[in-house]
Chain A
């Protein structure tokens, strides 16, 4: 084998290994969901990209509120029917179950728990948020239908709290997702959480519950912050 052939072969192998490395970077896409060409029943060749059946390729858009009285009326309905996602992210989630018990009973204020992000419009970030959980929080938040609201429970979401110098938790939540209401304390009691819901209702009724639009407006900035802290970003940019 000549030296030239040898070089060609090595180059080819290097290229192949590079291609393999690129493939592993996109590992969240299953092989059957990758972009490919398929032969249609009539013999024509069409391009398919099945991953877009699961994820949107578009950035979230700003959704304009309705005008005047209609928006006020709808905001009243939204404020009186808050569906909270049942997803405990940190130690504060232990304060949520008492809310459905006779002592605190959040149902009387129109606050209910829902099991899926698709049906909920409020998300309680309960206490410290590790970087690993932040990834799940972003995915979940982006899947929720707009208008959506975030309640940040506990001091850890404001400035890191007692985990301010931890290697694995974030310090300021609103750098990564927009927050509507902060509930300070370590831990805040269920009454504080109820007070937070009341505050959120006030904000929605005043027409200030537009953080989902803020997220869409400053999407690139939020994404940059998220990617800065999440080192192994192995999911699509837009999860909604």
Chain B
């Protein structure tokens, strides 16, 4: 497969991921509405919001970083996508494997932080006197989520003796009994619990809750910048779900399987969000350091010997 064909497939994949992200976001809002007994937003609302945001005539800027912040976040989402094998086709040179390479798991870990960093940089120049507090809270929670996730990733890497996401997916083929969910239950449990924080839904969504915490970075952006941020958020959501699907649930062999699996993974975080109210930052950080971190240590210890 030539590089141009591969590039074409990658761009097409990105378009699918963006739209699927919007649809998943709308589904989340719809489920939330139905739980509350409301009819809820139309399923196409995110596309309209994006159009509306792009079509605002006046936008205020607070400097260079204000421009770069949303771009950083988008880079995080797109970077995560570029190095992630989406669909398992039997060969790493296949159409939907994007630019997956040996050692991409480490790069993916890096790109996960990228989005948060973009928010922090943008908000830092947003002009809000208390934005530093919002950033500190966001990064504190993000660090608490990343630590158990990294331990689980390393445990899986030790298990399969590779840092390539593609090889991890390949090793899980041949039936659900080969999934990491069953072969490495401690790492899987760590990821499933820490994932709730990575997805950023309730109860771990205080960071991006503009109504309750007016110092949150997301309140300062408007117009096209906000449209950028929300598109990047949608891509990030799908890519997080795809990452966990690849690492724990055996990957996907076609797009339908990917959509079903990512929806179920996403639904898990939505389900928890509907049941539990919002945690304060100190509560969520303590929780991540208690349960998923201990499970992560167990996963590492078991596979180290």
CB-defined A-B contacts under 8 Å, sample of 19 = A53-B127, A63-B58, A74-B55, A78-B52, A81-B49, A83-B52, A86-B211, A105-B39, A107-B33, A108-B41, A110-B42, A110-B48, A112-B41, A116-B210, A118-B60, A119-B219, A119-B222, A121-B52, A146-B57
Smallest beta-carbon distance B76→chain A, Å: 22
Q: Which residues of B contact A53 (CB under 8 A)?
A: 62, 127
Known contacts A105-B38, A105-B39; is-contact A77 B219 (Cβ 8 Å):
no
A147 at the interface (CB under 8 A from B): yes
Give the contacting residue for A102; candidates B38, B45, B49; CB below 8 A.
B38
Across the interface, do A107 and B219 meet the contact criterion of CB distance under 8 Å? no
Assembly CA distance A81 to B210 (angstroms): 18
A54 at the interface (CB under 8 A from B): yes
Across the interface, do A146 and B58 meet the contact criterion of CB distance under 8 Å? yes
Known contacts A86-B211, A107-B39; is-contact A145 B219 (Cβ 8 Å):
no
Q: Which residues of A contact B29 (CB under 8 A)?
A: 107
- Chain A residues 78 to 108 lying within 8 A of chain B, measured CB to CB, are 78, 80-81, 83, 86, 101-102, 105, 107-108
Q: Which residues of A contact B220 (CB under 8 A)?
A: 116, 118
A115 at the interface (CB under 8 A from B): yes
Give the contacting residue for B39; candidates A63, A108, A119; CB below 8 A.
A108
**B: number of interface residues (CB 8 Å):** 31
B5 at the interface (CB under 8 A from A): no
Assembly CA distance A57 to B55 (angstroms): 24
Measured CB to CB, the nearest residue on chain A to B40 is: A107
Assembly CA distance A240 to B58 (angstroms): 10
Q: Which residues of A contact B36 (CB under 8 A)?
A: 102
Known contacts A54-B127, A108-B42, A115-B211; is-contact A145 B57 (Cβ 8 Å):
yes
Smallest beta-carbon distance A211→chain B, Å: 13
Across the interface, do B210 and A77 meet the contact criterion of CB distance under 8 Å? no
Q: Which residues of B contact A78 (CB under 8 A)?
A: 52, 55
Smallest beta-carbon distance B137→chain A, Å: 17
Smallest beta-carbon distance B207→chain A, Å: 14
Give the contacting residue for B52; candidates A54, A77, A116; CB below 8 A.
A77
Measured CB to CB, the nearest residue on chain B to A61 is: B58
Smallest beta-carbon distance A171→chain B, Å: 30
Across the interface, do B56 and A81 meet the contact criterion of CB distance under 8 Å? no
Q: Which residues of A contact B62 (CB under 8 A)?
A: 53
Across the interface, do A80 and B48 meet the contact criterion of CB distance under 8 Å? yes
Smallest beta-carbon distance B33→chain A, Å: 6
Smallest beta-carbon distance B84→chain A, Å: 31
Across the interface, do A115 and B49 meet the contact criterion of CB distance under 8 Å? no
B37 at the interface (CB under 8 A from A): yes
Smallest beta-carbon distance A216→chain B, Å: 10
Q: Which residues of B contact A63 (CB under 8 A)?
A: 57-58
Assembly CA distance A112 to B33 (angstroms): 13
Across the interface, do B55 and A119 meet the contact criterion of CB distance under 8 Å? no
Known contacts A102-B36, A107-B40, A116-B210; is-contact A145 B45 (Cβ 8 Å):
no
With A116-B219, A145-B58 already in contact, 4 other A-B pairs whose C-beta atoms are closer than 8 Å: A54-B127, A78-B55, A113-B211, A146-B57
Across the interface, do B219 and A115 meet the contact criterion of CB distance under 8 Å? yes
Across the interface, do B38 and A74 meet the contact criterion of CB distance under 8 Å? no
- Chain B residues 60 to 97 lying within 8 A of chain A, measured CB to CB, are 60, 62
